[in-house]
């Protein structure tokens, strides 16, 4: 009997222990401030020390002097002033805090407002000064480079101070520059993690790192009002809040049998921000190495608002377009005339506004290089090396003997007679190998199909410069009119000892845009040989675009211009009977109206127009 009672008692204890699931949570951002500096009065500012070497020194202002600036009160309604610095010549300006004792679990928070354009000529560095030594915590210019910062907005910085826990430290902003940028600082705080904090305040677009502190739990079900994602089953999820407001968070913790739920109302407070204007180019336009967008004349195209910060009003200005202005979020415009044009977007909400301007970014009509690489990707051009197996898009020993780049259909009929290819390396032990480039139609399966035109040169003729990205120009054996999607393929790369050729390309993250294809020969079954048969594959495993750029002209002439003969070097053009000859660059700008000028023009690609027997004719001129 005693054994039975003891068993029952033990079972009850186990059941009771198992039932003790308690939901609890906090977040890494749950903090309380134990030191603040808001520069809202001279007395408050005077608790710091300032040093100056120029007439432009640290000054308290309600609104920063930076172009496009808004007051810090758009972030903190209680703010009255900010610490500002106007740019000048040969500056070395410092602003240094008093000595502060750093508590465990601390971080430093502050805001800065600056444009990005001239940070290379003047920016601050933040140092932690301990006794006689100083440590660099943040370099504003390097941060702007690493984060592709294009300004101008209030940016919050957060720096972990775990290393300094228990130590006494001064913080010093040191600005060095010669006609650099205006600066503004505000909201300087030392904060300490506090799981009992009743709420967390962040700005729109920022993220919260939630931390489960439940007991007895083996499973978690989160609900985040206003957050992305809205739910999660992770133990410690990260959630982004894009819209201003107060939001509750709910956690149900369980052990598979028992559960407990905790809701913290208004736990997340998201502050509105002035928007950051950002122009999105027409998705249907061609990208180009030399223009942000290349479009035909007379064809409607839609610009996109990519602004962040929840704008509610938009003011667009389009030079050369119809309409010239628009208040729509994603306006449709048409360019009636050829040329290079600028545009500007002002995005606004009740917290302020910002501008994004692009100078001579849109080319309408004429001829231009086109490729599938965005301007912000240019700096990441590189080769893909596959170790002993060679290169993707070049010399390799994997049976890939041809590569292709896909291009969407033009918005209007276009004409192509030359293609530029940019190489990462051109070492050719087999110097006389034929490298063949083809312009191809798409087949019924969306793969490279029939050859429309081609061009061949020797491996030794490929161009490479280790200091600059330079083109190798392939001139097609006939001019091709394109109205549908098409491919440019290139192959014949030698793979003997000493051969090492590769095309520059962009390698993106998995699942992102890929426009590269390769032709793979069939394996002969021996494990080291290939048959003469094969098939095309899209580069699905790697998201890639090749640095291949056809020169497409929207100035299509269907009268073949055989009367006008193209010559090279010091030869001249046979234009007997021409009443007028005009020569334009690939941007559609008139550069000469005299045939005798041809021999003195820089090397490049031009469009020549001639009037012969009263009939206007045009052709591509390659110098």
**154: domain CATH number?**
2.60.120.200
Q: In this predicted structure, what is the pLDDT of residue 605?
A: 64
Q: In this predicted structure, what is the pLDDT of residue 55?
A: 82
Using the predicted structure, report yes or no on whether residue 196 has a pLDDT greater than 90. Answer: no
Using the predicted structure, report yes or no on whether residue 8 has a pLDDT greater than 70. Answer: no
Q: Each residue of 499-524: b (16+ CB within 10 Å) or e?
A: bbbbbbbbbeeeeeebbbbbbebeee
How far apart CA 280 and CA 288 sit, in angstroms, is 15
Which of the residue ranges 192-201, 207-216, 527-536 would you say has the lowest mean pLDDT?
A: 527-536
Q: CA 73, 277, 147: angle at the middle one, nearest 5?
A: 85
Q: Evaluate whether residue 20 is within a structural domain.
A: no
CA distances (Å), origin 546, targets 133, 286, 442, 454, 527? 50, 15, 17, 18, 29
% of the chain beyond a pLDDT of 90: 63
Element (H, E) at 545: strand 543-546
117-140, pLDDT tens digit by residue? 788 899 999 999 998 899 999 999
Tokens of 238: 């990260």
How far apart CA 314 and CA 280 sit, in angstroms, is 13
Indicate the pairing of strand 259-271 with strand 200-203.
parallel
**580: domain CATH number?**
2.60.40
Q: Within its chain, how far is the Cα of 458 from the centroid?
A: 36
Cβ of 47: how many Cβ atoms within 10 Å?
Answer: 10
Element (H, E) at 18: helix 2-18
| Long-range contacts of 320-323, Cβ-Cβ distance < 8 Å, separation of 24 or more | 320/362, 320/364
How far apart CA 259 and CA 20 sit, in angstroms, is 9
Using the predicted structure, report yes or no on whether residue 340 has a pLDDT greater than 90. Answer: yes
482-521, pLDDT tens digit by residue? 999 999 999 999 999 899 999 999 999 988 999 999 999 9
- Residues facing residue 333 across a β-bridge: 301
Residue of 55 and 230 predicted with greater confidence: 230
Using the predicted structure, report yes or no on whether residue 275 has a pLDDT greater than 50. Answer: yes
Q: Evaluate whether residue 17 is within a structural domain.
A: no
Same domain, 171 and 204: no
- Residues facing residue 590 across a β-bridge: 584
Residue of 292 and 575 predicted with greater confidence: 292
How far apart CA 38 and CA 186 sit, in angstroms, is 6
97 preceded by a cis bond (ω within 30 of 0): no
Using the predicted structure, report yes or no on whether residue 556 has a pLDDT greater than 80. Answer: no
Tokens of 578: 């021409």
How far apart CA 505 and CA 391 sit, in angstroms, is 11
Give me the residue label for tokens 């977040």. 27
Provide φ and ψ at 72, rounded to 5°.
-65, -15
Q: Is the torsion defined by CA of 374, 502, 423, 493 positive or negative?
A: negative
How far apart CA 250 and CA 260 sit, in angstroms, is 11
Give me the residue label for tokens 């702007």. 144
Q: Are 507 and 514 in contact (CB under 8 A)?
A: no
Q: Evaluate whether residue 183 is within a structural domain.
A: yes
Per-residue pLDDT band at 13 (split at 50, 70, 90): very low
Which of 169, 193, 217 marks a domain boundary?
A: 193
Same domain, 441 and 335: no
Q: Evaluate whether residue 22 is within a structural domain.
A: no
Q: Evaluate whether residue 7 is within a structural domain.
A: no
CA atoms within 13 A on the CB side of 455: 20
Q: In this predicted structure, what is the pLDDT of residue 601?
A: 64
Same domain, 265 and 325: no
% of the chain beyond a pLDDT of 70: 86
Q: In this predicted structure, what is the pLDDT of residue 617?
A: 58
Same domain, 530 and 546: yes
Q: In this predicted structure, what is the pLDDT of residue 607?
A: 67
Which of the residue ranges 100-114, 320-334, 562-576 would you say has the lowest mean pLDDT?
A: 562-576
Using the predicted structure, report yes or no on whether residue 22 has a pLDDT greater than 70. Answer: yes
Same domain, 183 and 163: yes
Which of 271, 296, 324 marks a domain boundary?
A: 271
Q: Averaged over 135-156, what is the pLDDT?
A: 87
DSSP letter string, 351-376: TEEEEEEEEEEEEESSEEE-BS--GG
pLDDT, mean over the chain: 87
Q: Are 320 and 332 in contact (CB under 8 A)?
A: no
Q: In this predicted structure, what is the pLDDT of residue 599?
A: 58
Q: Evaluate whether residue 6 is within a structural domain.
A: no
**248: domain CATH number?**
2.60.40.10
Q: In this predicted structure, what is the pLDDT of residue 600?
A: 61
Q: Averaged over 449-469, what is the pLDDT?
A: 93
Per-residue pLDDT band at 557 (split at 50, 70, 90): low
Same domain, 123 and 165: yes
User: pTM (2 decimals)?
Assistant: 0.66
Q: Evaluate whether residue 73 is within a structural domain.
A: yes
Q: Are 288 and 363 in contact (CB under 8 A)?
A: yes
Cβ of 72: how many Cβ atoms within 10 Å?
Answer: 27
Which of 193, 209, 233 marks a domain boundary?
A: 193
Same domain, 511 and 588: no
Same domain, 443 and 490: yes
Pure H helices in 106-265: 140-146
**436: domain CATH number?**
2.60.120
Q: In this predicted structure, what is the pLDDT of residue 610?
A: 66
Per-residue pLDDT band at 620 (split at 50, 70, 90): low
Residue of 224 and 276 predicted with greater confidence: 224
Using the predicted structure, report yes or no on whether residue 153 has a pLDDT greater than 90. Answer: no
Per-residue pLDDT band at 65 (split at 50, 70, 90): confident
Domain interval for residue 182: 31-193
Structurally, the chain folds into a number of domains equal to 5
Per-residue pLDDT band at 6 (split at 50, 70, 90): very low
Using the predicted structure, report yes or no on whether residue 320 has a pLDDT greater than 90. Answer: yes
Same domain, 386 and 458: yes
Q: In this predicted structure, what is the pLDDT of residue 76?
A: 85
Using the predicted structure, report yes or no on whether residue 49 has a pLDDT greater than 80. Answer: yes
Provide φ and ψ at 3, rounded to 5°.
-65, -40
Q: Evaluate whether residue 443 is within a structural domain.
A: yes
390-425, pLDDT tens digit by residue? 999 999 988 999 999 999 999 999 999 999 999 999
Using the predicted structure, report yes or no on whether residue 426 has a pLDDT greater than 70. Answer: yes
Q: Averaged over 21-35, what is the pLDDT?
A: 92
Same domain, 43 and 160: yes
**Virtual CA dihedral for 283, 286, 290, 295, nearest 10 degrees?**
-90
Same domain, 441 and 326: no
Q: In this predicted structure, what is the pLDDT of residue 16?
A: 44
- Give the number of residues written for the chain: 623
Q: Are 56 and 65 in contact (CB under 8 A)?
A: no
- Residues facing residue 314 across a β-bridge: 347
Q: In this predicted structure, what is the pLDDT of residue 544?
A: 96
Same domain, 203 and 104: no
Give me the residue label for tokens 């904090």. 197
């Amino acid at each position: 009997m005693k054994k039975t009672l003891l068993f029952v008692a033990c079972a009850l204890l186990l059941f009771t222990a198992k039932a003790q699931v308690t939901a609890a949570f906090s977040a890494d951002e749950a903090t309380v401030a134990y030191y603040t500096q808001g520069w809202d009065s001279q007395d408050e500012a005077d608790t710091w020390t300032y040093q100056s070497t120029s007439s432009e020194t640290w000054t308290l202002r309600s609104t920063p002097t930076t172009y496009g600036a808004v007051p810090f009160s758009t972030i903190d309604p209680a703010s009255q002033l900010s610490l500002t610095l106007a740019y000048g010549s040969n500056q070395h300006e410092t602003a240094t805090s008093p000595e502060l004792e750093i508590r465990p679990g601390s971080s430093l928070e502050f805001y800065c407002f600056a444009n990005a354009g001239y940070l290379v000529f003047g920016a601050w560095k933040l140092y932690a000064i301990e006794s006689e030594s100083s440590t660099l915590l943040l370099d504003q210019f390097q941060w702007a480079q690493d984060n592709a910062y294009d300004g101008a907005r209030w940016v919050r910085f957060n720096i972990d101070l775990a290393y300094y826990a228990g130590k006494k430290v001064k913080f010093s902003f040191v600005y060095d520059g010669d006609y650099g940028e205006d600066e503004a600082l505000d909201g300087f705080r030392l904060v300490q993690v506090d799981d009992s904090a009743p709420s967390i305040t962040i700005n729109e677009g920022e993220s919260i790192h939630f931390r489960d502190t439940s007991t007895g739990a083996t499973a978690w079900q989160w609900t985040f009002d206003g957050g992305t994602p809205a739910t999660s089953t992770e133990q410690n999820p990260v959630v982004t809040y894009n819209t201003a407001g107060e939001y509750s968070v709910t956690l149900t913790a369980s052990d598979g049998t028992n559960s407990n739920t905790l809701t913290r109302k208004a736990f997340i407070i998201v502050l509105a921000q002035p928007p950051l204007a950002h122009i999105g180019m027409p998705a249907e336009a061609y990208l180009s190495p030399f223009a942000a967008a290349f479009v035909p004349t007379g064809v409607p195209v839609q610009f996109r608002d990519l602004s962040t910060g929840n704008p509610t009003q938009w003011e667009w200005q389009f030079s050369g377009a119809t309409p010239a202005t628009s208040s729509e979020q994603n306006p449709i415009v048409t360019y009636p005339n050829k040329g290079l044009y600028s545009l500007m977007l002002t995005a606004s909400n009740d917290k302020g506004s910002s501008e994004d301007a692009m100078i001579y970014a849109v080319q309408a009509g004429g001829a231009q290089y086109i490729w599938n690489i965005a301007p912000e990707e240019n700096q990441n051009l590189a080769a893909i090396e596959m170790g002993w197996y060679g290169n993707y898009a070049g010399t390799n020993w994997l049976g890939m003997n041809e590569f292709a780049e896909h291009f969407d259909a033009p918005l209007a009929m276009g004409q192509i007679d030359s293609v530029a290819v940019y190489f990462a390396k051109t070492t050719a032990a087999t110097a006389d190998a034929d490298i063949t480039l083809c312009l191809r139609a798409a087949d019924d399966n969306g793969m490279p199909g029939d050859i429309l035109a081609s061009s061949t040169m020797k491996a030794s003729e490929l161009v490479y410069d280790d200091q600059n990205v330079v083109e190798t120009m392939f001139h097609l054996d006939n001019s091709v009119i394109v109205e549908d999607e098409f491919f440019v393929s290139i192959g014949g790369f030698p793979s003997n000892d000493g051969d090492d050729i590769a095309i520059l390309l962009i390698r993106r993250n998995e699942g992102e845009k890929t426009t590269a294809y390769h032709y793979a020969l069939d394996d002969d079954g021996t494990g080291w040989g290939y048959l003469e048969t094969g098939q095309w594959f899209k580069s699905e495993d790697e998201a890639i675009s090749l640095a291949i750029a056809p020169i497409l002209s929207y100035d299509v002439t269907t009268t073949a211009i055989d009367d006008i003969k193209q010559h090279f070097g010091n030869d001249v053009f046979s234009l007997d009977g021409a009443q007028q000859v005009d020569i334009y660059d690939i941007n559609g700008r008139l550069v000469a109206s005299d045939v005798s000028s041809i021999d003195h023009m820089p090397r490049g690609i031009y469009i020549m127009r001639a009037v012969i027997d009263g009939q206007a004719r045009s052709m591509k001129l390659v110098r």
